[in-house]
Amino acid sequence: MKMISMLLALLLVGYLAQQQLASTSANSALQDTLSKEGISVPKVPTSLNDVKRFEVDMNKLMQDAADKKAKLIDESLNH
């Protein structure tokens, strides 16, 4: 009996893991939101030489996001 319940639990965990890994709806929803906002996210580097460029891109992305938030805050306080 314990073996059967262990097998069923393992089957359920495997099914849920497969569903989570196969899900692309969250990723596509995120991409849609980013494209509507006009935000381009830098790609993660695959080689060591690209790390420095990735650092520059990420810093630019963060600075742009901070500037947008500051602008929105200033606009909301002035109105």
**Same domain? 58 vs 28:** no
Query: Which helix (DSSP H) or strand (DSSP E) does residue 43 occupy?
Result: none
**Same domain? 29 vs 49:** no
**Same domain? 63 vs 79:** yes
How many domains are contained in the chain?
A: 2
pTM over 0.75: no
**Same domain? 21 vs 52:** no
Radius of gyration of the CA atoms of the chain, in A: 22
Of 34, 36, 27, the closest CA to residue 61 belongs to 34
pLDDT digits (tens, 9 = 90+) for 10-24: 999 999 998 888 765
Tokens of 44: 């993660």
Tokens of 35: 């494209």
**Same domain? 33 vs 45:** no
pLDDT digits (tens, 9 = 90+) for 32-69: 777 777 777 767 788 888 888 888 888 998 999 899 99
Cβ pair 53, 45 in contact under 8 A: yes
Which range of residues forms the domain containing residue 17? Answer: 1-38
**Same domain? 44 vs 55:** yes
CA atoms within 13 A on the CB side of 68: 9
